[in-house]
Structure 1
Amino acid sequence: MEIGKRIRLERIINRDSGNTVIVPLDHGVSMGPIEGIIDLRKTINAVAEGGANAVVVHKGVVAFGHRGYGKDVGLILHLSASTMLSPDPNEKVLVASVEEAIKHGADAVSVHINVGSKTEAEQLMKLGKISRDCREWGMPLLAMMYPRGEGINQFDEKAVALAVRVGVELGADIIKTNFTGSVESFRKVVEGSPVPVVVAGGERMDSAEDILRMVEMAMDAGARGVAIGRNVFQAENPTLMTKAISLIVHENGTWKEALEVLRG
Protein backbone atom coordinates (compact mmCIF):
# COMPACT_ATOMS: atom_id res chain seq x y z
CA MET A 1 0.00 0.00 0.00
CA GLU A 2 1.22 3.50 -0.85
CA ILE A 3 2.67 5.44 2.09
CA GLY A 4 0.13 8.25 1.64
CA LYS A 5 -2.78 5.85 2.01
CA ARG A 6 -1.17 4.20 5.02
CA ILE A 7 -0.68 7.52 6.80
CA ARG A 8 -4.23 8.66 6.12
CA LEU A 9 -5.75 5.31 7.10
CA GLU A 10 -3.99 5.56 10.46
CA ARG A 11 -6.06 8.69 11.11
CA ILE A 12 -9.35 6.84 10.75
CA ILE A 13 -8.49 3.38 12.11
CA ASN A 14 -7.66 2.81 15.77
CA ARG A 15 -4.04 1.64 16.02
CA ASP A 16 -4.64 -0.58 19.03
CA SER A 17 -7.73 -2.45 17.88
CA GLY A 18 -7.27 -2.12 14.13
CA ASN A 19 -10.97 -1.22 13.94
CA THR A 20 -12.93 1.95 13.30
CA VAL A 21 -16.07 3.77 14.39
CA ILE A 22 -17.28 6.02 11.59
CA VAL A 23 -20.28 8.35 11.90
CA PRO A 24 -21.76 9.38 8.53
CA LEU A 25 -23.26 12.89 8.65
CA ASP A 26 -23.91 13.24 4.91
CA HIS A 27 -27.69 12.86 5.11
CA GLY A 28 -28.43 16.54 4.45
CA VAL A 29 -28.23 16.08 0.69
CA SER A 30 -30.62 13.14 0.57
CA MET A 31 -32.97 14.06 3.43
CA GLY A 32 -32.50 17.75 4.21
CA PRO A 33 -31.69 19.36 7.58
CA ILE A 34 -32.96 16.51 9.75
CA GLU A 35 -32.59 16.28 13.51
CA GLY A 36 -29.01 15.68 14.57
CA ILE A 37 -27.22 17.34 11.67
CA ILE A 38 -28.67 20.85 11.80
CA ASP A 39 -25.74 22.00 13.96
CA LEU A 40 -22.85 19.94 12.58
CA ARG A 41 -20.24 21.37 14.92
CA LYS A 42 -22.30 20.34 17.95
CA THR A 43 -22.82 16.84 16.57
CA ILE A 44 -19.19 16.35 15.60
CA ASN A 45 -18.14 17.53 19.06
CA ALA A 46 -20.47 14.97 20.59
CA VAL A 47 -19.31 11.96 18.58
CA ALA A 48 -15.65 12.94 18.80
CA GLU A 49 -15.89 13.05 22.58
CA GLY A 50 -17.58 9.66 22.42
CA GLY A 51 -14.60 8.18 20.62
CA ALA A 52 -15.58 8.25 16.94
CA ASN A 53 -12.61 7.72 14.66
CA ALA A 54 -14.06 9.60 11.68
CA VAL A 55 -17.09 11.40 10.31
CA VAL A 56 -18.43 11.51 6.74
CA VAL A 57 -19.59 14.86 5.34
CA HIS A 58 -20.11 16.62 2.02
CA LYS A 59 -17.66 19.25 0.79
CA GLY A 60 -19.89 22.27 1.39
CA VAL A 61 -20.16 21.76 5.14
CA VAL A 62 -16.59 20.85 6.05
CA ALA A 63 -15.96 24.38 7.35
CA PHE A 64 -19.12 24.32 9.46
CA GLY A 65 -18.12 21.12 11.19
CA HIS A 66 -14.39 21.77 11.56
CA ARG A 67 -13.48 22.25 15.19
CA GLY A 68 -9.74 22.84 15.49
CA TYR A 69 -9.79 21.90 19.16
CA GLY A 70 -10.56 19.00 21.47
CA LYS A 71 -10.28 15.35 20.57
CA ASP A 72 -9.29 14.77 16.95
CA VAL A 73 -11.61 12.99 14.52
CA GLY A 74 -10.89 11.87 10.97
CA LEU A 75 -12.54 13.52 7.97
CA ILE A 76 -14.02 11.45 5.15
CA LEU A 77 -15.36 13.49 2.24
CA HIS A 78 -18.39 11.95 0.55
CA LEU A 79 -18.33 12.18 -3.24
CA SER A 80 -21.78 10.73 -4.09
CA ALA A 81 -25.24 12.25 -3.97
CA SER A 82 -28.94 11.83 -4.67
CA THR A 83 -32.06 13.24 -3.02
CA MET A 84 -35.25 11.68 -1.71
CA LEU A 85 -37.13 13.68 -4.37
CA SER A 86 -35.33 11.96 -7.24
CA PRO A 87 -37.40 9.67 -9.52
CA ASP A 88 -34.74 7.05 -8.78
CA PRO A 89 -33.05 7.56 -5.39
CA ASN A 90 -30.84 4.54 -6.17
CA GLU A 91 -29.07 6.57 -8.86
CA LYS A 92 -25.93 8.18 -7.46
CA VAL A 93 -23.90 10.90 -9.15
CA LEU A 94 -20.46 12.27 -8.34
CA VAL A 95 -20.53 15.76 -6.82
CA ALA A 96 -16.90 16.08 -5.73
CA SER A 97 -13.46 14.77 -6.64
CA VAL A 98 -10.42 13.30 -4.94
CA GLU A 99 -8.51 16.49 -5.69
CA GLU A 100 -11.18 18.54 -3.88
CA ALA A 101 -10.94 16.17 -0.92
CA ILE A 102 -7.21 16.79 -0.73
CA LYS A 103 -7.79 20.56 -0.75
CA HIS A 104 -10.30 20.14 2.09
CA GLY A 105 -7.77 18.23 4.19
CA ALA A 106 -9.69 14.93 4.05
CA ASP A 107 -8.22 11.71 5.38
CA ALA A 108 -10.32 9.58 3.00
CA VAL A 109 -13.12 9.78 0.45
CA SER A 110 -16.31 7.73 0.17
CA VAL A 111 -18.59 6.77 -2.67
CA HIS A 112 -22.04 5.15 -2.61
CA ILE A 113 -22.69 2.37 -5.12
CA ASN A 114 -26.01 0.54 -5.56
CA VAL A 115 -25.28 -2.82 -7.16
CA GLY A 116 -28.28 -4.07 -9.11
CA SER A 117 -29.82 -0.65 -9.66
CA LYS A 118 -30.91 0.59 -13.08
CA THR A 119 -27.79 2.74 -13.26
CA GLU A 120 -25.37 0.11 -11.99
CA ALA A 121 -23.13 0.38 -15.06
CA GLU A 122 -22.62 4.12 -14.70
CA GLN A 123 -22.03 3.81 -10.96
CA LEU A 124 -19.40 1.11 -11.44
CA MET A 125 -17.61 3.26 -14.00
CA LYS A 126 -17.52 6.08 -11.46
CA LEU A 127 -16.21 3.75 -8.77
CA GLY A 128 -13.43 2.65 -11.11
CA LYS A 129 -12.50 6.26 -11.85
CA ILE A 130 -12.46 7.31 -8.20
CA SER A 131 -10.43 4.21 -7.30
CA ARG A 132 -7.86 5.17 -9.95
CA ASP A 133 -7.71 8.75 -8.66
CA CYS A 134 -7.32 7.52 -5.07
CA ARG A 135 -4.39 5.35 -6.07
CA GLU A 136 -2.82 8.29 -7.93
CA TRP A 137 -3.12 10.62 -4.94
CA GLY A 138 -2.61 8.15 -2.07
CA MET A 139 -6.14 8.69 -0.79
CA PRO A 140 -8.02 5.90 1.04
CA LEU A 141 -11.37 4.92 -0.49
CA LEU A 142 -14.40 3.91 1.57
CA ALA A 143 -16.93 2.27 -0.76
CA MET A 144 -20.51 2.07 0.48
CA MET A 145 -21.62 -1.03 -1.39
CA TYR A 146 -25.30 -2.00 -1.29
CA PRO A 147 -27.38 -4.48 -3.28
CA ARG A 148 -30.34 -2.33 -4.29
CA GLY A 149 -32.75 -2.55 -7.16
CA GLU A 150 -36.06 -4.00 -8.27
CA GLY A 151 -36.68 -7.41 -6.72
CA ILE A 152 -33.44 -7.37 -4.71
CA ASN A 153 -33.34 -8.21 -1.01
CA GLN A 154 -30.68 -5.82 0.24
CA PHE A 155 -29.99 -7.99 3.29
CA ASP A 156 -29.59 -11.27 1.41
CA GLU A 157 -26.27 -12.89 2.22
CA LYS A 158 -25.32 -13.67 -1.38
CA ALA A 159 -26.39 -10.25 -2.65
CA VAL A 160 -24.45 -8.45 0.08
CA ALA A 161 -21.40 -10.65 -0.51
CA LEU A 162 -21.51 -9.81 -4.21
CA ALA A 163 -21.77 -6.08 -3.56
CA VAL A 164 -18.85 -6.23 -1.16
CA ARG A 165 -16.70 -8.21 -3.56
CA VAL A 166 -17.41 -5.73 -6.36
CA GLY A 167 -16.00 -2.97 -4.13
CA VAL A 168 -12.93 -5.05 -3.38
CA GLU A 169 -12.32 -5.93 -7.02
CA LEU A 170 -12.55 -2.29 -8.08
CA GLY A 171 -10.06 -1.04 -5.53
CA ALA A 172 -11.80 0.05 -2.32
CA ASP A 173 -9.73 0.14 0.88
CA ILE A 174 -12.70 -0.19 3.25
CA ILE A 175 -16.18 -1.50 2.45
CA LYS A 176 -19.37 -0.38 4.18
CA THR A 177 -22.41 -2.61 3.70
CA ASN A 178 -25.62 -3.93 5.23
CA PHE A 179 -25.68 -6.40 8.08
CA THR A 180 -27.26 -9.66 6.93
CA GLY A 181 -29.00 -10.50 10.20
CA SER A 182 -26.81 -13.17 11.77
CA VAL A 183 -23.21 -13.88 12.70
CA GLU A 184 -23.11 -16.91 10.42
CA SER A 185 -24.36 -15.17 7.30
CA PHE A 186 -22.28 -12.02 7.80
CA ARG A 187 -19.15 -14.06 8.43
CA LYS A 188 -19.50 -15.41 4.90
CA VAL A 189 -19.68 -11.85 3.60
CA VAL A 190 -16.55 -10.84 5.51
CA GLU A 191 -14.66 -13.96 4.44
CA GLY A 192 -15.10 -12.90 0.82
CA SER A 193 -13.32 -9.59 1.39
CA PRO A 194 -9.56 -9.19 1.85
CA VAL A 195 -10.12 -5.55 2.87
CA PRO A 196 -11.85 -4.35 6.08
CA VAL A 197 -15.66 -4.50 6.11
CA VAL A 198 -17.69 -2.15 8.34
CA VAL A 199 -21.39 -2.52 8.98
CA ALA A 200 -23.95 0.17 8.16
CA GLY A 201 -26.47 1.34 10.72
CA GLY A 202 -29.37 1.50 8.29
CA GLU A 203 -32.76 2.93 9.20
CA ARG A 204 -33.34 4.51 12.61
CA MET A 205 -33.99 1.78 15.17
CA ASP A 206 -36.39 2.20 18.07
CA SER A 207 -34.26 0.25 20.53
CA ALA A 208 -30.68 1.01 21.55
CA GLU A 209 -30.40 -2.64 22.51
CA ASP A 210 -31.09 -3.66 18.89
CA ILE A 211 -28.32 -1.37 17.65
CA LEU A 212 -25.77 -2.68 20.14
CA ARG A 213 -26.73 -6.31 19.52
CA MET A 214 -26.20 -5.77 15.80
CA VAL A 215 -22.79 -4.21 16.38
CA GLU A 216 -21.70 -7.12 18.59
CA MET A 217 -22.89 -9.70 16.05
CA ALA A 218 -21.12 -7.89 13.20
CA MET A 219 -17.87 -7.77 15.15
CA ASP A 220 -18.20 -11.44 16.11
CA ALA A 221 -18.55 -12.18 12.39
CA GLY A 222 -15.25 -10.47 11.64
CA ALA A 223 -16.30 -6.90 10.81
CA ARG A 224 -13.65 -4.27 11.41
CA GLY A 225 -16.01 -1.66 12.71
CA VAL A 226 -19.15 0.30 11.96
CA ALA A 227 -20.34 3.25 9.91
CA ILE A 228 -23.52 4.26 11.74
CA GLY A 229 -25.26 7.59 11.17
CA ARG A 230 -28.85 8.15 12.27
CA ASN A 231 -28.70 5.62 15.09
CA VAL A 232 -25.86 7.69 16.56
CA PHE A 233 -26.53 11.33 15.71
CA GLN A 234 -30.27 11.01 16.42
CA ALA A 235 -29.72 9.11 19.66
CA GLU A 236 -30.86 10.72 22.89
CA ASN A 237 -27.21 11.16 23.82
CA PRO A 238 -24.89 10.84 20.79
CA THR A 239 -21.77 10.95 22.95
CA LEU A 240 -22.84 8.03 25.12
CA MET A 241 -24.07 6.07 22.10
CA THR A 242 -20.69 6.52 20.43
CA LYS A 243 -18.94 5.43 23.63
CA ALA A 244 -21.16 2.36 23.87
CA ILE A 245 -20.48 1.34 20.28
CA SER A 246 -16.76 2.04 20.70
CA LEU A 247 -16.64 -0.30 23.70
CA ILE A 248 -17.78 -3.17 21.48
CA VAL A 249 -15.69 -2.22 18.45
CA HIS A 250 -12.41 -1.36 20.16
CA GLU A 251 -12.51 -3.23 23.48
CA ASN A 252 -14.41 -6.38 22.56
CA GLY A 253 -17.20 -5.44 24.94
CA THR A 254 -20.60 -7.12 24.91
CA TRP A 255 -23.85 -5.41 24.01
CA LYS A 256 -24.93 -5.71 27.66
CA GLU A 257 -21.79 -3.91 28.84
CA ALA A 258 -22.30 -1.28 26.17
CA LEU A 259 -25.90 -0.80 27.28
CA GLU A 260 -24.64 0.05 30.76
CA VAL A 261 -22.34 2.69 29.25
CA LEU A 262 -25.30 4.13 27.38
CA ARG A 263 -27.28 4.38 30.61
CA GLY A 264 -24.48 6.47 32.08
Structure 2
Amino acid sequence: MLLGKAVRMERIMNRDNGRIIVVPLDHGVTVGPIYGLVDLRSTVNQVAEGGANAVLMHKGLPRCSHRGKGRDIGLIIHLSGSTAMSPIPNAKSMVGTVEDAIKLGADAVSIHVNLGDETEKNMLADLGALCSRAGDWGMPVLAMMYARGPKIKDEYDPGVVAHCARVGMELGADIVKVNYTGSPETFRNVTEACCVPVVIAGGPKMDNDRDLVQMVHDSVQAGGAGLSVGRNIFQHADPTKLVRSLSKVVHHDWNVDQAMELMNEP
Protein backbone atom coordinates (compact mmCIF):
# COMPACT_ATOMS: atom_id res chain seq x y z
CA MET A 1 0.00 0.00 0.00
CA LEU A 2 1.27 3.46 -0.90
CA LEU A 3 2.25 5.56 2.11
CA GLY A 4 -0.28 8.25 1.17
CA LYS A 5 -3.11 5.74 1.12
CA ALA A 6 -1.97 4.25 4.43
CA VAL A 7 -1.93 7.70 6.04
CA ARG A 8 -5.40 8.50 4.72
CA MET A 9 -6.80 5.15 5.85
CA GLU A 10 -5.54 5.87 9.35
CA ARG A 11 -7.40 9.20 9.31
CA ILE A 12 -10.73 7.46 8.79
CA MET A 13 -10.13 4.26 10.79
CA ASN A 14 -8.94 3.32 14.24
CA ARG A 15 -5.30 2.51 13.51
CA ASP A 16 -5.13 0.14 16.48
CA ASN A 17 -7.92 -2.21 15.42
CA GLY A 18 -8.69 -1.35 11.79
CA ARG A 19 -12.33 -0.59 12.57
CA ILE A 20 -14.41 2.35 11.45
CA ILE A 21 -17.60 4.32 12.11
CA VAL A 22 -18.80 6.34 9.11
CA VAL A 23 -21.88 8.57 9.13
CA PRO A 24 -23.10 9.15 5.55
CA LEU A 25 -24.73 12.52 4.91
CA ASP A 26 -25.20 12.13 1.15
CA HIS A 27 -28.97 11.49 1.21
CA GLY A 28 -29.89 15.00 0.07
CA VAL A 29 -29.14 14.23 -3.58
CA THR A 30 -31.39 11.19 -3.46
CA VAL A 31 -34.34 12.39 -1.36
CA GLY A 32 -33.80 16.09 -0.64
CA PRO A 33 -33.13 18.06 2.57
CA ILE A 34 -34.54 15.62 5.11
CA TYR A 35 -34.39 16.09 8.88
CA GLY A 36 -30.82 15.95 10.13
CA LEU A 37 -29.32 17.29 6.90
CA VAL A 38 -30.38 20.94 7.11
CA ASP A 39 -28.01 22.26 9.79
CA LEU A 40 -25.00 20.24 8.67
CA ARG A 41 -22.48 21.89 10.96
CA SER A 42 -24.56 20.84 13.96
CA THR A 43 -24.93 17.29 12.66
CA VAL A 44 -21.23 16.90 11.92
CA ASN A 45 -20.35 18.35 15.30
CA GLN A 46 -22.67 15.92 17.10
CA VAL A 47 -21.34 12.78 15.41
CA ALA A 48 -17.75 13.97 15.75
CA GLU A 49 -18.22 14.53 19.47
CA GLY A 50 -19.65 11.02 19.73
CA GLY A 51 -16.48 9.57 18.24
CA ALA A 52 -17.35 8.85 14.61
CA ASN A 53 -14.27 8.30 12.47
CA ALA A 54 -15.60 9.95 9.32
CA VAL A 55 -18.54 11.62 7.63
CA LEU A 56 -19.41 11.01 3.99
CA MET A 57 -20.94 13.65 1.72
CA HIS A 58 -21.16 15.03 -1.81
CA LYS A 59 -18.62 17.58 -2.99
CA GLY A 60 -20.84 20.62 -2.43
CA LEU A 61 -21.45 19.98 1.26
CA PRO A 62 -18.07 20.66 2.92
CA ARG A 63 -18.69 24.42 2.46
CA CYS A 64 -21.91 23.95 4.49
CA SER A 65 -20.45 21.66 7.13
CA HIS A 66 -16.84 22.68 7.79
CA ARG A 67 -16.76 23.84 11.41
CA GLY A 68 -13.28 25.24 11.90
CA LYS A 69 -13.30 24.06 15.51
CA GLY A 70 -14.29 21.11 17.68
CA ARG A 71 -13.25 17.49 17.46
CA ASP A 72 -11.63 16.46 14.18
CA ILE A 73 -13.30 13.92 11.91
CA GLY A 74 -12.37 12.28 8.62
CA LEU A 75 -13.95 13.34 5.32
CA ILE A 76 -15.11 10.97 2.57
CA ILE A 77 -16.40 12.53 -0.66
CA HIS A 78 -19.12 10.57 -2.45
CA LEU A 79 -18.69 10.54 -6.21
CA SER A 80 -21.89 8.97 -7.59
CA GLY A 81 -25.57 9.73 -7.32
CA SER A 82 -29.16 9.58 -8.54
CA THR A 83 -32.45 11.04 -7.37
CA ALA A 84 -35.68 9.42 -6.23
CA MET A 85 -37.41 11.44 -8.97
CA SER A 86 -35.60 9.52 -11.71
CA PRO A 87 -37.45 6.78 -13.62
CA ILE A 88 -34.32 4.66 -13.02
CA PRO A 89 -33.27 5.65 -9.47
CA ASN A 90 -30.96 2.65 -9.04
CA ALA A 91 -28.77 3.81 -11.92
CA LYS A 92 -25.95 5.80 -10.33
CA SER A 93 -23.99 8.34 -12.35
CA MET A 94 -20.55 9.72 -11.59
CA VAL A 95 -20.91 13.28 -10.29
CA GLY A 96 -17.40 13.99 -9.05
CA THR A 97 -13.75 13.05 -9.41
CA VAL A 98 -10.85 12.02 -7.23
CA GLU A 99 -9.30 15.40 -7.97
CA ASP A 100 -12.44 17.13 -6.62
CA ALA A 101 -12.01 15.22 -3.39
CA ILE A 102 -8.31 16.06 -3.14
CA LYS A 103 -9.06 19.77 -3.53
CA LEU A 104 -11.52 19.51 -0.64
CA GLY A 105 -8.96 17.87 1.66
CA ALA A 106 -10.77 14.52 1.65
CA ASP A 107 -9.32 11.42 3.24
CA ALA A 108 -11.20 8.98 0.97
CA VAL A 109 -13.80 8.76 -1.80
CA SER A 110 -16.86 6.57 -2.17
CA ILE A 111 -19.07 5.18 -4.92
CA HIS A 112 -22.47 3.43 -4.95
CA VAL A 113 -23.04 0.38 -7.18
CA ASN A 114 -26.34 -1.48 -7.58
CA LEU A 115 -25.65 -4.96 -8.94
CA GLY A 116 -28.52 -6.41 -10.92
CA ASP A 117 -29.74 -3.07 -12.23
CA GLU A 118 -30.14 -2.75 -15.98
CA THR A 119 -27.28 -0.24 -15.94
CA GLU A 120 -24.97 -2.46 -13.90
CA LYS A 121 -22.31 -2.53 -16.64
CA ASN A 122 -21.92 1.25 -16.46
CA MET A 123 -21.64 1.28 -12.68
CA LEU A 124 -19.07 -1.53 -12.74
CA ALA A 125 -17.04 0.37 -15.31
CA ASP A 126 -17.20 3.46 -13.10
CA LEU A 127 -16.09 1.46 -10.06
CA GLY A 128 -13.14 -0.04 -11.88
CA ALA A 129 -12.05 3.28 -13.36
CA LEU A 130 -12.42 5.07 -10.01
CA CYS A 131 -10.31 2.51 -8.16
CA SER A 132 -7.58 2.85 -10.79
CA ARG A 133 -7.61 6.65 -10.66
CA ALA A 134 -7.76 6.74 -6.87
CA GLY A 135 -4.82 4.35 -6.76
CA ASP A 136 -2.75 6.84 -8.75
CA TRP A 137 -3.31 9.40 -5.99
CA GLY A 138 -3.09 7.07 -2.98
CA MET A 139 -6.77 7.78 -2.24
CA PRO A 140 -8.79 5.07 -0.44
CA VAL A 141 -12.09 3.98 -2.02
CA LEU A 142 -15.19 2.92 -0.11
CA ALA A 143 -17.59 0.99 -2.36
CA MET A 144 -21.26 0.79 -1.38
CA MET A 145 -22.28 -2.52 -2.93
CA TYR A 146 -25.96 -3.48 -3.09
CA ALA A 147 -28.05 -5.93 -5.14
CA ARG A 148 -31.06 -4.11 -6.55
CA GLY A 149 -32.66 -5.07 -9.82
CA PRO A 150 -35.23 -7.22 -11.63
CA LYS A 151 -33.45 -10.51 -10.87
CA ILE A 152 -32.86 -9.77 -7.19
CA LYS A 153 -35.39 -11.54 -4.95
CA ASP A 154 -33.75 -10.67 -1.62
CA GLU A 155 -30.96 -8.11 -1.32
CA TYR A 156 -30.19 -9.39 2.20
CA ASP A 157 -29.64 -12.99 1.11
CA PRO A 158 -26.21 -14.06 2.45
CA GLY A 159 -25.02 -15.37 -0.90
CA VAL A 160 -26.10 -12.19 -2.64
CA VAL A 161 -24.42 -9.97 -0.03
CA ALA A 162 -21.21 -12.02 -0.22
CA HIS A 163 -21.24 -11.62 -3.99
CA CYS A 164 -21.66 -7.84 -3.62
CA ALA A 165 -18.72 -7.60 -1.22
CA ARG A 166 -16.57 -9.75 -3.45
CA VAL A 167 -17.24 -7.62 -6.53
CA GLY A 168 -16.22 -4.47 -4.66
CA MET A 169 -13.05 -6.08 -3.39
CA GLU A 170 -12.07 -7.65 -6.70
CA LEU A 171 -12.45 -4.38 -8.60
CA GLY A 172 -10.16 -2.56 -6.20
CA ALA A 173 -12.16 -1.03 -3.33
CA ASP A 174 -10.30 -0.57 -0.04
CA ILE A 175 -13.45 -0.74 2.11
CA VAL A 176 -16.71 -2.41 1.15
CA LYS A 177 -20.14 -1.46 2.48
CA VAL A 178 -22.94 -4.04 2.28
CA ASN A 179 -26.23 -4.99 3.89
CA TYR A 180 -26.17 -7.03 7.08
CA THR A 181 -27.34 -10.58 6.42
CA GLY A 182 -29.31 -11.02 9.65
CA SER A 183 -27.04 -13.26 11.74
CA PRO A 184 -23.38 -13.49 12.76
CA GLU A 185 -23.12 -16.96 11.21
CA THR A 186 -24.20 -15.84 7.75
CA PHE A 187 -22.32 -12.55 7.90
CA ARG A 188 -19.08 -14.34 8.72
CA ASN A 189 -19.34 -15.97 5.31
CA VAL A 190 -19.29 -12.46 3.83
CA THR A 191 -16.29 -11.18 5.79
CA GLU A 192 -14.23 -14.34 5.34
CA ALA A 193 -14.56 -14.10 1.56
CA CYS A 194 -13.39 -10.48 1.46
CA CYS A 195 -9.78 -9.48 2.20
CA VAL A 196 -10.60 -5.79 2.79
CA PRO A 197 -12.64 -4.27 5.65
CA VAL A 198 -16.39 -4.85 5.39
CA VAL A 199 -18.80 -2.41 7.03
CA ILE A 200 -22.57 -2.67 7.31
CA ALA A 201 -25.26 -0.28 6.13
CA GLY A 202 -27.96 0.90 8.49
CA GLY A 203 -30.87 0.22 6.19
CA PRO A 204 -34.32 1.76 6.86
CA LYS A 205 -34.93 3.83 9.99
CA MET A 206 -35.14 1.42 12.93
CA ASP A 207 -37.79 1.45 15.64
CA ASN A 208 -35.42 1.23 18.60
CA ASP A 209 -31.78 1.73 19.51
CA ARG A 210 -31.19 -1.79 20.79
CA ASP A 211 -31.86 -3.33 17.39
CA LEU A 212 -29.20 -1.12 15.82
CA VAL A 213 -26.67 -1.76 18.59
CA GLN A 214 -27.34 -5.51 18.37
CA MET A 215 -26.85 -5.52 14.60
CA VAL A 216 -23.56 -3.63 14.87
CA HIS A 217 -22.34 -5.85 17.70
CA ASP A 218 -23.15 -9.06 15.83
CA SER A 219 -21.54 -7.84 12.61
CA VAL A 220 -18.30 -6.98 14.41
CA GLN A 221 -18.27 -10.33 16.17
CA ALA A 222 -18.56 -11.91 12.72
CA GLY A 223 -15.45 -10.14 11.47
CA GLY A 224 -17.00 -6.88 10.29
CA ALA A 225 -14.98 -3.68 10.47
CA GLY A 226 -17.76 -1.43 11.70
CA LEU A 227 -20.57 0.54 10.17
CA SER A 228 -21.63 3.18 7.69
CA VAL A 229 -25.01 4.27 9.03
CA GLY A 230 -26.86 7.45 8.08
CA ARG A 231 -30.50 8.05 8.99
CA ASN A 232 -30.48 5.83 12.06
CA ILE A 233 -27.79 8.15 13.44
CA PHE A 234 -28.32 11.67 12.07
CA GLN A 235 -32.10 11.52 12.60
CA HIS A 236 -31.72 10.20 16.16
CA ALA A 237 -32.85 12.36 19.07
CA ASP A 238 -29.28 12.32 20.44
CA PRO A 239 -26.75 11.44 17.70
CA THR A 240 -23.79 12.10 20.00
CA LYS A 241 -24.91 9.60 22.62
CA LEU A 242 -25.80 6.98 20.02
CA VAL A 243 -22.45 7.26 18.23
CA ARG A 244 -20.64 7.16 21.57
CA SER A 245 -22.41 3.90 22.45
CA LEU A 246 -21.76 2.39 19.01
CA SER A 247 -18.12 3.43 19.31
CA LYS A 248 -17.79 1.40 22.49
CA VAL A 249 -19.13 -1.65 20.64
CA VAL A 250 -16.97 -1.19 17.54
CA HIS A 251 -13.73 0.03 19.06
CA HIS A 252 -13.81 -1.42 22.59
CA ASP A 253 -15.77 -4.67 22.14
CA TRP A 254 -18.51 -3.74 24.57
CA ASN A 255 -21.53 -6.02 24.65
CA VAL A 256 -25.04 -4.84 23.87
CA ASP A 257 -26.14 -4.46 27.49
CA GLN A 258 -23.13 -2.29 28.31
CA ALA A 259 -23.80 -0.07 25.31
CA MET A 260 -27.47 0.28 26.19
CA GLU A 261 -26.58 1.28 29.76
CA LEU A 262 -24.49 4.09 28.32
CA MET A 263 -27.37 5.04 25.99
CA ASN A 264 -29.78 5.24 28.90
CA GLU A 265 -27.60 7.39 31.11
CA PRO A 266 -29.04 10.90 31.75
Measured against the shorter chain, the TM-score band is over 0.9
Residue pairs, 1:199-238, within 5 angstroms: 199-238=200-239
Superposed counterparts of 1:69-84, under 5 Å: 69-84=69-84
Q: Alpha-carbon deviation of 1:97?
A: 0.2
Quote the sequence identity (%).
52
Which residue of structure 2 aligns with residue 6 of structure 1?
Answer: 6
- State the AA in 2 paired with 1:104: L
- Cα deviations by residue, 1:209-228 (Å, 9 ceiling, x for unpaired): 11011001101110011001
Alpha-carbon distance in 1 for matches of 2:198, 2:72: 23
Distance 2:96 2:256 in 1: 37
Tell me how far apart the structure 2 counterparts of residues 28 and 96 of structure 1 sit (CA, whole Å): 15
Please give the alpha-carbon distance, in whole angstroms, between the structure 2 residues aligned to 1:206 and 1:40: 24
Residues 50-129 of structure 1 mapped to structure 2, 5 A cutoff: 50-129=50-129
Choose 4-13 or 62-71, whichever is displaced more: 62-71
What are structure 2's unaligned runs of at least 5 residues?
none
The answer to which of 183-192 and 254-263 deviates more is 254-263
- The alignment partner of 1:6 has SS state of helix
Amino acid at match of 1:241: L
Code of the aligned partner of 1:132: S
Q: Which residue of 1 aligns with 2:246?
A: 245
- Whole-Å Cα distance in 2 between the matches of residues 31 and 253 of structure 1? 34
Task: Give the partner amino acid of 1:107.
Answer: D
Question: 1-side partners of 2:77 and 2:156: how far apart?
Answer: 26
Asked whether the 8 Å contact 2:108–2:141 carries over to 1, the reply is yes
Contact 2:115 2:145 in 1 (8 A): yes
Deviation at 1:17, TM superposition (A): 2.5
Q: Which segments of 5 or more consecutive residues in structure 1 lack a partner in the other structure?
A: none
Q: Distance in 2 between matches of 1:200 and 1:209?
A: 16
Query: Are 2:116 and 2:151, in contact at CA under 8 Å, matched by a contact in 1?
Result: no
Give the deviation of 1:149 after TM superposition.
0.9
Counterpart secondary structure, 2:180: coil
- RMSD between aligned alpha carbons? 0.7
For 2:14 and 2:72, locate their aligned partners in 1 and report how far apart those are by CA, in whole Å: 12
Quote the offset at 1:53 in angstroms. 0.2
1:179 and 2:166 aligned: no
Q: Runs in 1 of length 4+ with deviation above 2 angstroms?
A: none
The one-letter code of the counterpart of 2:42 is K
TM-score relative to the length of structure 1: 0.99
Partner SS, residue 199 of structure 2? strand
Could you tell me how far 1:151 is from its partner in structure 2?
A: 3.7
Instruction: Please tell me whether the aligned partners of residues 17 and 251 of structure 1 are also in contact (alpha carbons under 8 angstroms).
Output: no
Q: Deviation of residue 260 (structure 1)?
A: 1.4
CA distance in 2, matches of 1:123, 1:206: 33
Equivalent AA in structure 2 for residue 235 of structure 1? H
Deviation track 1:60-115 (CA, whole Å, cap 9, x = no partner) reads 11111111211110000000101111111110000000011000100000000011
Aligned letter for 2:217?
Answer: E
Task: State whether residues 232 and 241 of structure 1, in contact with CA within 8 Å, keep that contact through their aligned partners in structure 2.
Answer: yes
Letter in 1 for 2:192: E
Q: Counterparts of 1:143-162 in structure 2 under 5 Å?
A: 143-152=143-152, 153-162=154-163
For 1:142 and 1:172, locate their aligned partners in 2 and report how far apart those are by CA, in whole Å: 6
Q: Distance in 1 between matches of 2:132 and 2:219?
A: 30
The structural deviation recorded for 1:16 is 2.4
Amino acid at match of 1:125: A
AA partner of residue 171 (structure 1): G
Q: Distance in 1 between matches of 2:174 and 2:227?
A: 15
Matched residue count? 264
- What is the SS of the residue equivalent to 2:61? helix
